[in-house]
Amino acid sequence: MADDGRAALRRELRAARRAVDETARAAAAVALVAQLARLGLPRPGARIAAYLPLDGEIDPSAVLARARARRCAIHLPVITDWRSRRMRLVPEAELFRRPVPDDSARWLDLVLVPLVAFDAGGNRLGMGAGFYDRHFAFLRARRAWRRPRLLGLGFELQRVTALAPAPHDVPLWGVVTERAVYGAAARCLD
């Protein structure tokens, strides 16, 4: 998909995502927890990273509440340099401490990733800045990787038939919506 096609798809699906009403948004967040529970996620004591929602992204707060109850260590992204599009994943308890500690993403078990669009094969279209792709670029060099697993969270309305990945894109292990589980993660349900 050409850059102009990706930009148009971003505009269309961001608008659709923002148009989800509060009742449907709350129901989707609850359903998301149920879908993750079917996968056994998050596992007790796991090290997970999540995001704080913006621009209509599905809210992972209920998932994080379940993670806290399961004594998971939660990390959140902090943008460290806008120009070079760099971020760090910081333990939740240290979120407002400066300087930001460098907690390696390689030690995480699961990363909950926001998205604008996705396909059933685990390809993701994000907001376009490339923060997640840069931060997890080391995963592209691995043939068989187990950690961290990148799991996209979104609304079913964000699913598209196919996305052609760009060379810098890091594929997702799966995507969970309020209705279904996609990608390699879906095989865990069999």
The CATH number for 27's domain is 3.40.50.10420
**Residue 48 structural domain:** 3-189
In this prediction, residue 100 carries a pLDDT of 47
Q: Pick the closest to residue 40 from 60, 70, 75, 61 (CA basis).
A: 70
In this prediction, residue 145 carries a pLDDT of 60
Q: How many domains does the chain have?
A: 1
Give 6-18 pLDDT, tens digit per residue.
999 999 999 999 9
Pairing of strands 149-153, 110-114: parallel
Give 63-75 pLDDT, tens digit per residue.
999 999 999 999 8
In angstroms, rounded to a whole number, what is the distance separating the alpha carbons of residues 165 and 159? Answer: 15
Does pLDDT of 170 surpass 60? yes
Length of the chain equals 190
Burial category of 113 from C-beta neighbours within 10 Å (exposed 0-12, middle 13-18, buried 19 and up): buried
